[in-house]
Structure formats: C-alpha cells, structure tokens
Structure 1
Amino acid sequence: MKLMRTILIFLLIALAAAPAGEAKPVNKQVKIPQSVLNITKENTYPNPSQDLPYLQPSDFTEKLLKTSNVKIENPNLIRMLNETSVNHSFLSLGLRARIYLGEWPLNYESNETSPNWQYQKINTNYFDNRGGNANYKIHYVQESQKVVRGGLTAKLPKSDDVKKMMLLKAMENSNLPLAFDTIIGAGTKKDHEYNIPPKRLGYLYAYAPAVNEKGKVTYGEVYLVLKGTKREIMVKNVTSHGIGAWIPIQDYVSFGFAVTEQPK
C-alpha cells in the first residue's frame, strides 16, 4: 500500500512538472477575400518588386549590436556599422573615446497588421441595361492610370528609416506584396464577368487595398565607445513613439458590384 502511494505521488509530481502542449504557430498569412483579385500579369504598369531582405550584419557589427543596451534593427544604421572598421593595435590599449553617431530610430515593434480591402477607389465601370431584354456581362477595365500612395500617420524624424522597418514587419506579418507607392496602369483588364439583368444599371467598383500597420518605434542617441581594445555601442536618451502607417497591397484590386434601377 505504501509503495502504491509513493508511485502515485511520483506520477502526480511528474504530471505537474510536465510542460504544456506546444502552442501552435500563428499563421501570419492574411486570408484574401474572393472579391480581391491579383492583377500582376494584367497590370499595364509593371510595378518594381519590393523585396526587402534583412540586412545581414558583418561580424564586427554583430559583436557591436550585442553590446547595445537597446535592440537595434534599423537596416540603415546596420549598413553604416557594416562600413565601419576599428583596427586593434598595441597603441590602442590606453585609448578612450566616445563617438556620437546621431539620433536614430532603432527598432519597430508591431502591435497590429490589418487589411483594408477598400482603401481607395480607383475605377468605376458601368453599363445601362434598362433597355435590354437579356443579361449584359461587364468586366473590369481600368480607365486611367492610378497612383496609390500610403504613408505614416504622423511626422517622425528619419521617417524613411521608420517606413522601411514598418514595411519589413508588415510584409512579415501579412505575407502580402506591400509598397508605399503602387500604380495601376490604364487599360488593365480582368476577365471575371458580372451580370447586369434587364431594366437595371450595373456598377463595377474597383478599389486598391492596403494594410494598416500600427506599433511603436524606439529612438535613441547612438554612441560608439572605444575602451582600449573593447568596442561597444551605447544608446542614451531612449524614447518611444506610437505610430501607424497605411501601406498599399501591390498588384491587387478589390471589386464591388451593384445593380440599381436608377442612376447613382
């Protein structure tokens, strides 16, 4: 009996100490509605690819980044550090220096990445079938070239650096082709057809979708500190700012179809 009690106690302890089941990885890919179509092949204006691979720090830069008291992810600052070199020599043993590299946006932390499939209306195709006796088929034709621009929701120093970090994070979170500027060329067509019944007018609306990226950007004054043979990064006067951005989804169009008895 005592042996059974001992075994039971060990089993209870083992169960209590056992780690919980691993959390399933979050699927970051945004689900695209059926009303949203890809126009990459049909777009008469070839948008440049916005592939922004993570800039790999050099060995010297990687060692420096590990010494920083604040996480540094800014690709432009990493690029500058990659181009920096400090030679080790016997004469540097007594060296003491603090080099000011400027105030930089250091990292961006994303809180939310959400799509707006009707961010901006870019086109309207319509047909008056009030005099017809059968369905009339209508499809999308872009009547004029349209430039769709996104941007930050507030002014911040070194905004281009902030936009690049937010773009990288939004692309990672959504798995969508994003760009702060995208163009839909005139004459772009899509074969998908919509039926307008007799005695009705049909309106086919086209919208450029975008994602709304929200989060926090951290700034700080960056110093390169030299202490003999040691090289360190020191960040002072750290501040954080809430920031948002609208980033268009490149080469995608969202459609809305409406049928009415009277003109709109």
Structure 2
Amino acid sequence: MKHIRYGLQLILILLLILSGPADFIFAKGQSKGSIQLPSSVVNIAKENTIPNEMEDLIYLKPSNFTKELFKSSNETIENPNLIRILNESSINKSPLSIGTRATIYMGEWPLNYKSAETIPNWQYQKINTNVYDNTAGKMNHQINYVQQVQKRIKGGLTGRVPHPEDVQKMILIKAIDKTNLPLATETVIGAGTKHSQIYNVHPKRVGYLHAYIPAIIEKGEVTYGEVYLVIRGTKRKIVVKNVTSQKIGAWLPIQDHLTFSFTAN
C-alpha cells in the first residue's frame, strides 16, 4: 500500500508540473478566502439607474529590473505607484560602470499593507425606506424596493496616515483579493432603481422596507520606509531605512449591492 500511495503522490506532482502556470494560478484563486453574502443582500447592478465605475486600480507586474531590485530589498514592496516608477527605470550593466558608486534617495513610501481582520457590516448606511400604511386595508398589500433619491455613499480610511491615496489603494487591492467582492471607495445608487422582490403588508399593519449599503471594514497595518536605490559598479539594489508601521483601517462599500430589511408594525 505504501508503494501505491507514493506512486500516486509522484503522479500528482508530475501532473501539477505539467499543468503549467495557468493551472497553478487557477488553483491558487480557488483557495482564496471569501465572505458569503446573506440572503438579505442582493445584487442590483442590472437595475441600478446609474452605472458604477470600477476603481482605477493598478495591478502592475514588476519588470525584470524591478524583480531584481525586490530580491535585494529588506522589506516587501507592494505599493503600485512605487512599482510603476521602478518599472519605468533602467540602469545598464555596462563595463564602464565598474567603480561607479551612487546612492539615490527615492523618498519615504508606504511599502506594504498587512491585513489583520476583514469584517462585513451589512447595514453600513441606510439609503432608502419604502412605506405602506395598510391599517385601513382588508387584504395584504404588496410592496417592493424603489429608490426615491440618488445616493452616493463613500468609504475611506479610518484615520490619518502619510500618503493616504497609496495606502487606500493597497488596502483596497488586498481586500478585493481577500473577499472576492466588488469593493470600492464609493458607490452610487440612482433614483428610480427598483428590485422585484415582493414583501406583504398585512391588514392593520404599516410596512417598512429599508435599504442599506453593505460594506467591509478592513483593518491592518501599513509599513513605511525610506527607499534608497544603491549602485555599486554593476550591482543595483534597494535599501529601505527607518522602517515604521502604523495601524490603519478602511471602510469599503460593496458596489451595486443592497441589504433589505422589512418590518411591519
């Protein structure tokens, strides 16, 4: 039995190797954590009278030059803007560069964000209430959600930090990857947006159908450091000095989703 088990393990390893990078990426995606939406949360992307624009996120792949620099860095670098600058840079390994010595200060940057917890708030902000008074009625009355006025709900960082735009972008990228949800820094629900879900208001009752924007609260730590590009002859490396960290969080609305809550008094 041991020989059979080892043989199966060897076959599995060979299949993984032969499957290539695309299959590996797919398998990795399947293992992502995700937050399950409760039944009270519905997708209204098709019904929304104002289409939401996706966040302008930069998913940059480091160039070969940037990868080489990252290997030498004493800190993980995830900041898309810093990666873009490094991608646009190049230093030729010329024989004439032997003996060259230079240290270039690139400034203080937020380098990476580490997530500590990701918590949903399904009733982040109330945006609408549909009411029907059936106290004088003798039969059930059906109501459904109709957005009365346009609402723009914004999220954002929970505190002040240096380079807030870079930090917010890193948090958003990390949270989307972690939850598989259409998160953003803001979402808009247009006036006249409807949903077909029906709620019954019984006689002698007043029905209230509330609509909320759901959101994610992302909490973690951002690392800062002074970044130096060091050149010693044909060798190039990144050195990060004066590293600090700061706890930070961000509210991130879930675009084109609503949480419904119905009560009858």
Instruction: Please give the range of the TM-score, normalised by the shorter of the 2 chains.
Output: 0.7 to 0.9
1:200 correspondence with 2:205: yes
1:140 corresponding residue in structure 2 = 145
Once the two structures are superposed, residues 57-107 of structure 1 have per-residue CA deviations (whole angstroms, 9 ceiling, x without a partner) of: 000011011110001011110000000111222221111110000000000
Contact 2:58-2:80 at 8 Å conserved across structures:
no
- Structure 2 residues not aligned, in runs of 5+: 1-29
**Which residue in 2 is equivalent to 1:96?**
101
Give yes or no for contact 1:50–1:177 (8 Å, CA) kept in 2. Answer: no
Secondary structure of 1:34's counterpart equals: coil
The question of 1:35 aligning with 2:53 is answered no
AA partner of residue 83 (structure 1): E
**Higher CA-based Rg:** 1
Please state how far the C-alpha of 1:49 moved relative to its aligned partner: 2.4
Structure 1 equivalent of residue 221 of structure 2: 216
Give distance in 1, aligned partners of 2:108 and 2:57: 23
Structure 1 residue 226 corresponds to structure 2 residue 231: yes
> In the alignment, what sits opposite 1:10?
none
- Report matched runs for 1:1-264 at 5 Å: 28-50=33-55, 52=57, 54-260=59-265
Give the SS at the match of 1:47: coil
Q: Is the 8 A contact 2:208 2:263 kept in 1?
A: yes
The TM-score, its normalising length taken from structure 2, stands at 0.87
* Counterparts of 2:249 and 2:90, CA distance in 1: 36
| Contact 2:32–2:177, Cα closer than 8 Å, also in 1 | no
Q: How many residues align?
A: 236
CA distance, structure 2, for counterparts of residue 106 and residue 112 of structure 1: 19
Kindly indicate whether the alpha-carbon contact (under 8 Å) linking 1:216 and 1:243 is maintained by their aligned counterparts in 2: yes
Q: CA deviation at 1:27?
A: 5.6
3-state SS of paired residue (2:248)? strand
How far residue 26 of structure 1 moved from its aligned partner, in angstroms, is 5.9
Read off the aligned partner of 1:192 and give its amino acid letter: Q
Structure 1: gaps of 5 or more residues: 1-24
* Corresponding residue number in structure 1 for 2:20: none
TM-score (norm: length of structure 1): 0.87
- Output the CA distance in 2 between the equivalents of 1:135 and 1:52: 48
**The structure with more strand, counted as a fraction of residues:** 1
Aligned position for 1:8: none
Alpha-carbon distance in structure 2 between the residues aligned to 1:217 and 1:197: 52
Larger proportion of helix: 2
